[in-house]
Amino acid sequence: MGISDTLVLSLLYATLAGAAIPLGAFIANIENLRPNWLQREFRHSVIAFGGGVLVSAISFVLVPEGVKEVSAGWAIFAFLLGGLCFYIVDRIIEQHQGPYSQLIAMLTDFIPEALAMGAMLATGNNASILLVLLIASQNLPEGFNAYREIMDSGHHKSRTVMIWFCLMVLFGPLAAYVGGEYLSDKTFALGGIMLFSAGGILYLVFQDIAPQAYLKKRWLPPLGAVLGYSLGLMGHLFL
């Protein structure tokens, strides 16, 4: 496969993975679901599923592939730096108290993962296919949650938010293009990005996702987390 074919495939994969964002918002916008059930068990289960997928992305792609490219010291530094930067972003969001925490969290893990996917696909790394599946699987529940958070604020119309989410799909192929064209031969930088993203995602899971997924005397959300992680495990074993 030539480089141009690889680039086209990378852009296609990134677009499909990004399309899960407005798809998640569309599912959240369905009015015939029972409101109480949607707001409670189903919504918490979706959050937990997304957390499980994020943890599987860390376990099976970002950390294993990242540590291949950098030394142990740099790997730990990049991982901790990712967690610290996500903490700073989280604090900024908290201070402004806007209904965009889920949205920003979604983009801060989607963009670096798309960068890594583009670079890995350009080098023929088979783990890139697994990363595509995991990005799409996490964008779906994150799009769902981000849409519900914004709409619950009552400040925006549904149509406007859906347009935003559709435009966000473009971040995927743009990041994949940059990764494939400029990072595929820079293994140190690529490894650092993957580990940075892994550290940030781990912070996000325990700071934001896991607490939101909890429901007293409810067992579906933790089962959703197991299902999300199992999805990553199946991809890891079969791909």
Closest CA to 130 of 13, 225, 51: 13
* The pLDDT value given to residue 4: 67
Q: 52-86: per-residue pLDDT in tens?
A: 888 888 888 899 999 998 998 999 999 999 989 98
User: Which pLDDT does position 1 carry in this prediction?
Assistant: 46
Tokens describing residue 44:
């918490």
Nearest CA-CA partner of 142 in 174, 86, 195, 100: 100
What is the DSSP code (8-state) at residue 125?
-
Instruction: Write down the H helix ranges in the chain.
Output: 3-28, 35-37, 43-57, 63-66, 72-96, 101-122, 127-152, 158-168, 171-178, 187-204, 210-213, 220-238
CB 150 within 8 A of CB 161: yes
Q: Which residue has the tokens 């916008």?
A: 29
Return the amino acid letter for 34.
R
Residue numbers of the chain with a pLDDT score lower than 50: 1-2, 32
Q: Which of 20, 215, 221 is nearest to 110 (CA)?
A: 20
> For residue 71, with 0-12 CB atoms within 10 Å meaning exposed, 13-18 middle and 19 or more buried, which class applies?
exposed
